[in-house]
Amino acid sequence: MRQQIVAGNWKMNKTLEEGVELTKAILDKINQPKGLVVVAPPLTHLQEIGRLLSTKKSFHLSAQNCHQEEKGAYTGEVSADMLVSVGCSFVILGHSERRQYFKESNATLAAKVNISLAKGLRPIFCCGEPLNIRETETHVAYVAKQLKASLFHLSETEFRKVVIAYEPIWAIGTGKTASSLQAQEMHKSIRDLVAKKYGKAVANDTTILYGGSCNAQNAAELFAQPDVDGGLIGGASLKADDFAVIVGALK
């Protein structure tokens, strides 16, 4: 069954003390959400934030990344096992910032998806196009290539554990947002692509989040689209009031 999810990606923001205060405020303001609420704080905060989230139903802890190898001499990296050991149930993979700044390839992301699933983590797999691709109207093919290269080797059972997050890169942190119709168009194309690979039943059960400058003002309109199942929220997740409004917009 398709799940409604709002995931907050804090990125490299908030000290531990600030993160604890934010989490307490979020928990205080959000009661009985219609779907799952996922919080992805910095790595240093995971254990403490996870303890707080575990006190309330429907709240889950996520990491912002993990390494593709199980363990070894990878200074500064974190493994899937480590994330599970501090209470993570989700991990964000393939965010456009990881692709751009850390040169993560589709092949690397496929390996990260594999290790995450093997260790019991649910990947929130990000895909999306830059502005030049959108302007040349090749965005559907561009996103399809990302998904095929990093996810379509999975079995049906494995794929059912993946959450997809469509993030138009030109709308991340820019204040620009894809219109609700543009978001719906891409989400439907993704669902249709999944249906061709895994069948309509799997496609209908796949959660597809929108992740491009979603905020308290536009969340309800975006989430009202039939193929938009929630959001991967950046800046707005750092404000408890705004994040609560976004969670409240779930269908």
C-alpha–C-alpha distance, residues 172 and 178, integer Å: 10
C-alpha–C-alpha distance, residues 4 and 15, integer Å: 29
| Contacts of 206 by beta carbon, 8 Å cutoff, 6+ apart | 2, 159, 160, 162, 164, 191, 194
Q: 46-53 and 16-29 are packed helices; what angle lies between their axes, rounded to 10 degrees?
A: 20
95 as an active site residue: the answer is: yes
Which position among 60, 67, 95, 139 bears the catalytic label? 95
Which position among 97, 139, 167, 187 bears the catalytic label? 167
User: Phi and psi of 23, rounded to 5°?
Assistant: -65, -45
Helix (H, G, I), strand (E, B) or coil at 184: helix
21 as an active site residue: the answer is: no
Structure token digits, residue 109:
């992301």
C-alpha–C-alpha distance, residues 60 and 75, integer Å: 27
Contact by Cβ (8 Å): 7, 90: yes
Active-site positions?
A: 95, 167
